[in-house]
Homo-oligomer: A and B are copies of this chain.
């Protein structure tokens, strides 16, 4: 698998995730920021390698083997993100580009060792679960608070920004890890949000804050 093939397969996997049966050439072109004509070529190639089922003019389905490969790439990407944030002090929103390169390093041993070194993390810094070496994802995905809709409920499970300043702020307003929350209101204009904490306390926060709070939805 070349780097380009890995990237296409990952894109197709992500586009398939949202329950869509079939992914179109245009979908892939948009996601990959290339032209549909280039996508067609790659789909044929990935089809021949049986990573996807490709029927001309009718889009693609990812195969089990393709999914396995894509999940390996996702795993590597997310592990590197954890490394960059936990060890090299990158901010969670600075890591994507670099991880996009690092994920293509070919060395199973490296990933095995990295995983151990990071203490077998289950989530990346954005709250997305890290597949295990077999491609299994046990953990439920976490969602940034700013992405929840009105009336949705959940439990605060982690923060993306673990700076002293942010943790102090959270402590002050009573938004602790483990708190059960419900979205009361969202302001479209600035993305600020109002939530109910533990069924008793109303809390209003800016988008900047909400972005950094991870919720397990229920």
Contacts and interface: CB of A to CB of B under 8 A. Distances in A.
Interface stretch (A57-65, A106-114, A151-159, A171-179): A106-114
A88 interface: yes
A104 to B, nearest CB: 8
Contact of A88 (B90, B101, B106, B113): B113
A97 B94 CA distance: 27
Interface string A43-83: 00000000000000000000000000000000000000000
A98 interface: yes
Copies of this chain present: 2
A208 to B, nearest CB: 22
Interface string A113-135: 11001000000000000000000
A98 B113 CA distance: 13
Contacts of A29: none
B105 A101 contact: yes
A42 interface: no
Contacts of A87: 87, 117
A196 interface: no
13 contacts: A84-B110, A87-B87, A87-B117, A88-B110, A88-B113, A88-B114, A88-B117, A90-B109, A94-B109, A97-B107, A98-B109, A98-B110, A101-B106
